[in-house]
Structure 1
Amino acid sequence: MSLATDLEIHKQGTALLDLCADVQARIPRAFRASMGYRISDECVEILVLIGRANAARQPQDRANHLEKLLERLQVAQILLRSAHAKRLIATKLWATSIELTDTIGKMANGWLKSARARVTSGPTSEGAVATPGSGTTATTSAEPQGYTPGLFDTTAAAPAA
């Protein structure tokens, strides 16, 4: 396991935080507390979640951190888009932020896909169910617990009366 600071996603996250510090400095004082600080806080939380995902030993824990990271990234994108729409930040600064958030999002989604694949393929995954009498395990589908496929599917045929 490498250090989180050596990962490319962390470097991009640090670049986003640096950019958001510039955004915060350029936002007018009236919006600085409500938008500027919030944008910076989201970027800091993104870096924290990158570190947590890198340090997680279990693929499910890693996936949970990456899902939270993607949610925080989306919040940062919304705040940056809103700041640009209100003309609080320049178009060039906003465009650079979008490039960085897209890059981070692609990397995080790839990492999440890999973590989820390890959860479903691992022998100790949550989907493994013991088959009585055989001593082997059968893997159930990777659907979330409590979800029945087709339960709310409107395209399925109606039951016969």
Structure 2
Amino acid sequence: MRFSRRKVLISGSLLSLGAALGFGRASSAAEGSFPFELTDEEWKARLSPAAYQVLRHEDTERPFTSPLNDEKHAGVFHCAGCDQALFSSDKKFDSGTGWPSFWDFIPGAIGTSEDNSLWMTRVEVHCSNCGGHQGHVFEDGPPPTGLRYCINGVALRFEPAA
């Protein structure tokens, strides 16, 4: 499936409208307990306002706004909330959607849950260590997995290879 810039911008606008109207998920971050937990006040102090909204309240950053979308160096992408390594740069690809995209993750680093917001069912992706929302996974990625982990750049921190 190919995405045009127009389709991505329209869907980004719909996501923003849905969030503004309160059609997002009711819970904050992935359900359950995680090895790395903080209070809401501690999360607010630790994260930028945008990262807090994405990681703790399942917000979505606007497409084509993250510098990590264009990051092409060798290295590892970490969770911006707890610093767990999530994605290796050799699994990153340009999906044309405006968000950093990967075809696989570091084993054990990601959890998933069903997301029924915005009148559709999607698979939400979260950090397995802190439960922070990363984005969603779709079945329109490249071989060998055929998956596209569509991740919010503000939910990540990039560490270049030594």
TM-score, scaled relative to structure 1: 0.26
Considering fraction of residues, name the structure with more helix. Answer: 1
Which is bigger in relative contact order (C-alpha 8 A, separation at least 6)?
2
Rg bigger for which structure? 1
TM-score (norm 2): 0.26
